[in-house]
Structure 1
C-alpha cells in the first residue's frame, strides 16, 4: 500500500509541495500503520508494521525514516552528540535535518552539493570551503561511492576535522576488493555495474578501511545486529574514523 500511495502522490502533487508538506501528508497514514508491534525511534510512533520499500528496506510511514537513518539517529543521540559540538552533515536525511536544526546546543551544518537534499550549504566534499579543524563530528553517509576522487574527499574530511573529532562513514558494501572502473560513465552502465546511476564504485569494508587509513585516519569498523522491533538492518556496518 505504501509504495502505491507514494507513486500516486508523486504523480499528482509537485515535488516541492510534497517535500514542504511531507509531515501533513504522512499523518493520513497513521490509522493504517499505528499499532504495538514496532516502534520508530526517530518519531516515537508505535506501529503495527513498518512499510517495505521496493528495495526491501523498512521505512517508517509516519516520519519517512529508513533503517539506516534510524540507526544513525540512535548512534548520534546515545553516543556522538555532545553539547557545543560543530557537526557537518553531508546530504542529510530530511527527518534528521529537521530535528537537528531545532537543537540549540550544537552547531549544525547541513550540506548538499546538488539540490536533492534539504541543506543550508553547498560544499564540494573534494574542496570543502571551511578552515582546518572546524568540525567535531562529520556525518558522511552514502556519499563517497558518488565521488570519483574519493581520496581527495578523504583528505578534505581529515583536514576540516578537529583533533579528537570523529567521522561516521557508511556506503554500500560488497565482498572482496573495491570495484571501480572510470571508463564506465553512462547512467545505464553505472546502474548495471555499481547498482545506481550516480555511483562510481562499490567498496568492500576492508577496501574502504584501508583507503581511509592511507588518508591518515584511525578506523574502527562497527557491525550492528538487527532489531525487528525498531526496524534495524542485520549486520549493518559503520566506519568510525578518528584523526
Structure 2
C-alpha cells in the first residue's frame, strides 16, 4: 500500500491519455520541498468522473490539494522513469497558505541499509506491491531515517514488514536524474523478516505545522502500541 496527500502546482494542462487500454486524464505537477521541487504526475481514471471533471478545469500553475495512490514509473525507456505518479482519489483547489506533503507506505525492507559518513541518517529500500488488473507490480521506494528512525532502518532484517509515514523529497542520482526519497516521520515494524540530508522546513511561511526537521527524527514519536491480545 502506498498513498499520499499533497499540495501541488500544475506544470502542464491536463491531457487525455490511454494506459493499458484505459483512458486517463494526466498532467505534470510539482511539490515544493523547501530548497527544490519534486516533479510528479497526476493521473485521474476517466471513470472517476468527480476527480476527472475537477482536474479538467485546471491549468498550468494552478495550485491543488490531492490525495491518491502513490506509485513509481519503472521503465528505463521512458524519459519519466522513476517519477512518482498520484492516481487521484480526491482533488480540490488549494491556496498559497496551505501545505501538505504526507505519504504512507506499507511494504518490506529489501537489502541492507546505507549509513551516511556522518552516521546522522540512513537510507533503505522499501518494496511495495500493488496489483493493477490483478497483476503484481513492485515499486521500490527509497526511505531515509534520522536518529531513532535511522536505528530502525539499520537494525531491521531483510524482509521486515513495516509501515512508513513521511515526506516526499527529490534526490539526484549519479546520472543526474531526479528520483523520489521518503523522509521518514515514523516507522512502525509489523513483522520482522529473516550523513545528514535536507533539514529545511518546506512549510515555512505557511499556516502548516509539523514539517520542521525535528518532526522527522523519531524523538517525539509515541511508543508503539502493544498487540491487541495484551490490551486490558
TM-score by length of 2: 0.27
Normalized per residue, the structure richer in helix is: 1
TM-score (norm 1): 0.26
